[in-house]
């Protein structure tokens, strides 16, 4: 069973739903997003009753907006409590204390920021919403001087977050300060099967332009990335699964892996895979339909899948509008020029930039020896692809 919601539902997901005949909750978002009428929709009452018929029913959400609906309508299950443990970063850290007893974190309220004394904190540290999404309101604070700027920016971000997302998805009133986690950052689409065993469906490396960058501009996956980290990630997910006692549960997990191969979790996004349906990259890269694999409880044969993937890198590019640009000054975008930058663009999905601050998501295939095209786009402000109104 699936609950679809804003901000985006891909055609690929809709086609998969129709092919597998998966029941979908008919909520307001279905109408707003103008989704296919061929999808087998259920009313709230029908959806709840069907879920009650089988306590082992598999549920997936394409975004975290339905979390409140699940809490209100599926309270007879363990789902709301499990979701809350993952979604609230303070609770998440508390649950992981046995695995990471020395990890520093601190809960702080938004109205405490002005009076917060950071002089005794170890720099750098990370501050972010305790309940958050899409790197919104996430800052790396490198000094007391930098804290002054971050504090002011958080005041601005709080208004934007409240406007764009419900508090179940992003809540800037409650924040978490935690020690900076060193290492390379990875995002993993994984589900726990009926027996509580983790099944990895994709591993994405998060590429940054600098040590201070916290944006979501580029994620890449490849044969080398998966083969290098797969075994250690499975071990980590087995430990985390035991700590949270989960099964029949999909998630998108962000971690850092240091030079000693130690894995430290950043956050878990419950009930979904990579946001905005960017998880569909797995189909382009590896022929893995993550929705089908989850609902059919299939496990990728990675040895077979990766045998002919040597030398190829697959990327998700989030084309965000620079923050210093007035949205009203934008006339349009050079989508074709943007695509031509890449050696082999696989798919481009246009987005309403005025609502989301992003004008496109692009999937691409790149030869490893041509990684300059990825490095360039990570550092670019993308203004060369924006058409401006004439003064």
Q: Tens of pLDDT along 195-205?
A: 999 999 999 99
- DSSP lists the bridge partners of residue 221 as 314
**Cis status of the peptide bond prior to 7, with omega within 30 of 0:** yes
- Do residues 317 and 218 touch, judged by C-beta distance below 8 A? yes
Both tokens of residue 31? 């109408």
What 8-state DSSP symbol labels residue 15?
H
CA pair distance 59, 148, nearest whole angstrom: 43
Structure tokens at 218: 């580029």
The pLDDT, as a whole number, for residue 292 is 98
Tell me the average pLDDT of the chain. 92
User: What digits encode the pLDDT tens for the residues 17-54?
Assistant: 999 999 999 999 999 999 999 999 999 999 999 999 98
**197: phi then psi, degrees, rounded to nearest 5:** -90, 135
For domain 102-179, give its CATH number from 3.60.40.10, 1.50.10.10, 3.50.50.60, 3.30.1490.20: 3.30.1490.20
> What angle is formed at CA 18 by the lines to CA 17 and CA 19, rounded to 5 degrees?
95
Q: What is the pLDDT of residue 151?
A: 86
> What confidence tens digit (pLDDT) does each residue in 256-315 have?
999 889 999 999 999 999 999 999 999 999 999 999 999 999 999 999 999 999 999 999
Give the C-alpha separation, 8 to 134, whole Å. 13
The DSSP-derived string for 38-54 is TS-EE-HHHHHHHHHH-
Q: Is the pLDDT of residue 165 over 90?
A: no
Confidence at 323, pLDDT banded by 50, 70, 90: confident
Please give the Cα distance from 182 to 256 (Å, whole number): 7
What whole-number distance in Å separates Cα of residue 279 and Cα of residue 252?
9
DSSP 3-state assignment of 274?
coil
In the predicted structure, residue 121 carries a pLDDT above the cut 90: no
**Comparison of pLDDT for 310 and 161, the residue scoring more:** 310
With respect to CATH, is domain 184-388 assigned 3.30.420.40?
no
Taking the CA atoms of residue 94, residue 96, residue 99 and residue 104 in that order, the dihedral angle to the nearest 10 degrees is -50
In this prediction the pTM is 0.89
Specify whether the CB–CB gap between 278 and 6 falls below 8 A: no
Beta strands in 79-147 (DSSP E): 105-109, 125-131, 139-141
β-pairing, 358-367 vs 344-350, is antiparallel
Tokens of 109: 């309220």
Q: From the CA atom positions of the chain, what is the Rg in Å?
A: 21
Q: Where are the chain's structural domains?
A: 2-85, 102-179, 184-388
pLDDT value, residue 343? 95
């Amino acid at each position: 069973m699936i609950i679809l919601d804003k901000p985006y539902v891909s055609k690929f997901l809709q086609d998969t739903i129709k092919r597998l005949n998966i029941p979908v909750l008919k909520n307001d978002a279905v109408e707003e997003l103008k989704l296919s009428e061929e999808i087998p929709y259920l009313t709230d009452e029908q959806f709840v009753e069907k879920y009650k018929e089988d306590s082992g029913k598999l549920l997936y959400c394409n975004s975290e907006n339905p979390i409140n609906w699940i809490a209100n309508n599926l309270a007879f299950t363990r789902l709301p409590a499990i979701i809350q443990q993952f979604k609230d970063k303070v609770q998440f850290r508390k649950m992981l204390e046995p695995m990471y007893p020395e990890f520093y974190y601190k809960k702080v309220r938004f109205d405490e920021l002005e009076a917060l004394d950071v002089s005794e904190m170890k720099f750098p540290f990370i501050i972010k919403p305790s309940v958050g999404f899409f790197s919104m309101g996430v800052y790396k604070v490198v000094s007391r001087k930098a804290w002054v700027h971050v504090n002011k920016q958080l005041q601005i971000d709080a208004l934007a977050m409240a406007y764009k997302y419900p508090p179940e998805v992003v809540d800037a009133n409650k924040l978490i300060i935690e020690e900076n986690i060193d290492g390379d950052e990875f995002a993993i689409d994984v589900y726990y099967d009926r027996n509580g065993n983790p099944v990895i469906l994709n591993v994405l490396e998060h590429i940054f332009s600098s040590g201070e960058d916290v944006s979501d501009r580029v994620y890449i996956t490849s044969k080398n990335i998966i083969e290098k980290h797969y075994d250690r990630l499975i071990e980590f997910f087995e430990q985390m699964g035991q700590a949270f006692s989960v099964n029949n549960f999909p998630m998108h997990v962000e971690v850092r892996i240091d030079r000693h191969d130690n894995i430290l979790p950043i956050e878990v996004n419950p009930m979904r895979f990579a946001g905005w349906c960017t998880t569909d990259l797995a189909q382009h890269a590896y022929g893995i339909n993550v929705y089908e694999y989850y609902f059919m409880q299939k496990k990728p044969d990675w040895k077979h899948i990766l045998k002919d993937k040597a030398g190829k890198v697959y990327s998700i590019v989030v084309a965000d509008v620079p923050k210093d640009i007035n949205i009203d000054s934008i006339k349009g975008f050079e989508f074709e020029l943007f695509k031509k930058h890449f050696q082999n663009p696989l798919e481009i999905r246009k987005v309403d930039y005025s609502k989301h601050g992003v004008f496109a998501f692009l999937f691409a295939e790149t030869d490893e020896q041509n990684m300059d095209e990825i490095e360039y786009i990570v550092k670019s402000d993308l203004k060369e692809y924006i058409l401006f109104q004439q003064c």
